[in-house]
Chain A
Amino acid sequence: MKIILKIIFIFIPLIIQSQTTIKGMAMIKNSDGKTKGLPGATIYWLDTEVGTTTNDQGWFTISYKPEYKKLIFSYVGYRTDTVIVNEPREVHHFMQEEGKLEEVLVKSKKQKTAVSYLQSANIININEGELLKAACCNLSESFETNPSIDVNFSDALTGTKQIKLLGLTSPYILIAQENIPSVRGASQAYGLTFTPGTWIESIQITKGSGSVVNGYESIAGQINTELKKPLNDDKFFLNAYGSLNGRLELNTHYSQKVSKKWNTSLFVHGNLRDAEIDKNDDNFLDIPLAKQINIMNRWQYTDTKNGFVSFINFRYLKDDKQTGEVDFDPNTHRLTTLKYGSEINTERFDVSTKFGYVFPETPYQSVGFQIAYSRHDQDSYFGLNQYNINHKSLYSNAIFNSILGSTLHKYKTGLSFTHDGYDEFVNTANFGRTENSVGGFFEYSYDNLENFSLIAGLRLDFHNLLGTFLTPRLHIRYVPWEKGVLRASIGRGKRSANIFAENQQLFGSSRVMSILNTNGKVYGLQPEIAWNYGFSFLQGFNLFDKKADFTIDFYSTLFQDQVVVDVDESPQQVLFYNLEGNSHANNLQIQLNYELFKNLDLRLAYKYYDVKTDYKKGTLRKPLQSKHRFFANIGYETTPNFKGGHWRFDYTFNWLGEQRLPFTGTNPTQYQLADYVSSYSLMNAQIAKVFSKNFEIYVGGENFTNFKQENPILSSEDPFGANFDSTIVYAPILGSMYYAGLRFTIN
């Protein structure tokens, strides 16, 4: 008996040992960021015949032995991944969808922000998961967790956020919506706030000159926003947001299948801020009173069998802002010296259509056609300065894609036509003008499918004011060793500066505006021409079995011609003149992304900016631009349960080095500022509780250390005096800000 028991006791552990299994789940993220199990995926141990498939919920069990180390996850349409298993544990793994269309992402865990290893250009892809980290609410606020884009404050009146890439402001970036240039001309100052964040599916940031297909205007880079597509979008989506500073936002989306080939979506956005806030007691609103209604209707036609796809979009926007002194009443004080106030009222209508056809017999050939019309109307005044602009814009582009010999050599060629009609009034001066351009482009791309690819583009444009000119651009990618990618780019950009629309924050000061040149065709000024070149090195590696990647980017922009905005000559003036001498923007960025622990991602970046221009006074650093910046972001997500429920935590830290302030030395002593303002840091954090793939709530804080600029408005007590200036803003005006919101989806 004893012997039998002994035998049983000896054998039980052995039996248990030999029967050890581990459990786990193959998961995917839906387009809306929700998690669900992936049924039918193949799971097996590398170099063995031990394998299984996942059940209806995505769960699997597989036998385990200590010598098994590498678990393979595989499923049609998804990238095959290897997961290291050093001990018996539950294995949850996200499967990465295979690249859709041209977009290729090579990451086993779906990275929210990723630089591709395969594209020739240095393109950073931001998907919806990353956008969820942003506190609120529109495109201008979607870059706060991305170190490549710096978000600045433009002025103390309108509270508008301004973005910079490679040390250059948004006019030097081609900002497009589904490859149609969108934030340009009259919409330059506030255009980014006209795209609600919930409409966005993904954002692609190209550092360096970018493609020639979308035009000649981009200098520092391109930002393209893809909106949610009616075909894939959820049936119903609701997002509500409220912040303690009185901002309310509501987003609803409805999507519907109309017929076999037609799908439609209706996006309705409204926001309102009606609380009068003056925390710094300067008698000026810290942030404007605002209301916006923004409606978009999209139609998508898809006929995959015959190779047709088409989009038609209609959008209407009305945005009203009021700012200035707290007790300013537009009805009685408008354009008087009784009270200082400002109203910016914008109405915009857009219609755009895209059409694509792929030849079914020869799928490497396709044609595309885009046409977009917009009418942008802004009526505004800042104290006694009146500024009205009406911009009618037509953009059209026809593209033909094919190959030269084989799909290793591809090309895109086509023609574009643009028309911009401006009616622009600064007080009583009329700056109306018409710009027309016709251009042809050819872009060749080569990929040896191993370690080398390039894109070489050239376009020729005929422009009624800018003349006839060539725009060459080149991007090269080389893979010297595994997971290492070397990129280089060079290109030229040219544009006419819309000096008032782009710098309209300057109306919020007593500065007198003067244009010093008269021989140019746009405001008497020459167009801006710049060359941009850059190098980038990306190395992916594994550190303690966790994925990491390291990037060094260096980009330089050299201006051949520039419209210099000079606020340093005198605190009572702003001068616009053609560059005489040199102007450059150099940027070095070093970035590390690391999965510190399972589900805990760390992103660190250091940025160096050397932005200098030859002003009338001499060579000066660009005002309100830090030389050094440091960025850190930590994101943590708990492992989703079977309903997809989980927690999400996110923390962002920004450190800004000292900034040069515009010259104020000739002002009376009380209105003089230091030459430099010292460094400071800002912190944001967000916590989200996802209950299921249909419902989540989030709370967060922006700038929760409550750092703010004490006196953002010079001479705020005498707004019609000679020293009034609301444009010298180097830090947040509003202190800490807390918010909460919810997202509800019906698939």
Chain B
Amino acid sequence: MNKRIITLLIIMLTFTLTSEAQKTSKTSKVTFEVDGVCVMCKERIEKAAVLTKGVKFATWNIDTNELYCIYNNKKTSLNKIKQAIANAGHDTKEIKASDKAYNSIADCCKYRTLEKH
């Protein structure tokens, strides 16, 4: 019984380690600013980012307005992610949201006029 368990363990470990090693080369970790004011913005920004193909992880900090994003640089680019965020209604330094996209976000999220709350 013990042999089987040890084999299982080794298989699992090698699987995890090799896949981790492959990942790091094509994985980019970036932090950039996204405009937003509230918790609803946070949900929208993170969702827009993570639903972009190739994005692994995204978390937006309401106090610093910084989005920390981990993505596969073979599958997507920083511009694509920023465009997806702009399409959801949020500005970055490089890509601004269209009026239509901006108007579609909730009233409590109108970051161009509202204070952080």
Contact = CB atoms under 8 A, between A and B. Distances in A.
A345 interface: no
Most chain B CB neighbours (cut-off 10 Å) among A47, A72, A74, A406: A406
A362 B108 contact: no
A406 B8 contact: no
Given A46-B107, A72-B108, A98-B39, A407 B57 contact: yes
B56 A80 contact: no
Contacts of B117: 41-42, 74-76
Query: Interface majority SS on B: helix, strand, loop or mixed?
Result: mixed
Interface in A397-420: 400, 403, 405-408, 413, 415
A438 B1 CA distance: 9
B12 interface: yes
B57 A363 contact: yes
A364 interface: yes
A462 interface: yes
Nearest to A413: B12
A400 B47 CA distance: 24
A462 B12 contact: no
Contact of A462 (B4, B40, B51, B55): B4
A98 B41 CA distance: 14
Nearest to B115: A42
Nearest to A406: B56
B27 to A, nearest CB: 9
Contacts of A44: 108
A79 B12 CA distance: 40
A67 interface: no
A440 B12 contact: yes
Given A80-B39, A80-B40, A403-B56, A462 B108 contact: no
A462 B56 contact: no
A348 to B, nearest CB: 30
A96 B5 CA distance: 46
B9 A400 contact: no
Contacts, number: 65
Contacts of B50: 406-408, 449
A98 B39 CA distance: 9
A524 interface: no
Interface in A337-364: 361-364
B47 A449 contact: yes
A432 interface: no
Nearest to A403: B56
Interface string A45-72: 0110100000000000000000000001
A74 B8 CA distance: 50
Contacts of A77: 39
Nearest to B8: A440
Given A75-B117, A76-B38, A405-B56, A449 B5 contact: no
A361 B38 contact: no
Contacts of A361: 29
Interface string B70-100: 1000000000000000000000000000000
A550 interface: no
Contacts of B9: 415, 440
B56 A79 contact: no
B65 interface: no
B5 A462 contact: yes
Contacts of A449: 47, 50-51
Contacts of B63: 76
Contact of B70 (A76, A362, A438): A362
A468 to B, nearest CB: 8
B45 to A, nearest CB: 12
A278 B94 CA distance: 81
24 contacts: A42-B115, A42-B117, A47-B107, A74-B117, A75-B117, A76-B39, A77-B39, A79-B39, A80-B40, A98-B39, A361-B29, A362-B70, A364-B56, A400-B16, A406-B50, A406-B56, A407-B57, A407-B58, A415-B5, A438-B1, A438-B5, A449-B47, A449-B50, A462-B4
Interface of A: 41-42, 44, 46-47, 49, 72, 74-80, 98, 361-364, 400, 403, 405-408, 413, 415, 438, 440, 449, 462
Given A79-B39, A449-B50, 10 more contacts: A74-B38, A75-B117, A76-B62, A78-B39, A362-B57, A362-B70, A364-B70, A407-B58, A438-B1, A440-B12
Interface of B: 1, 4-5, 8-9, 12, 16, 29, 38-40, 47, 50-51, 55-59, 62-63, 70, 107-108, 113, 115-117
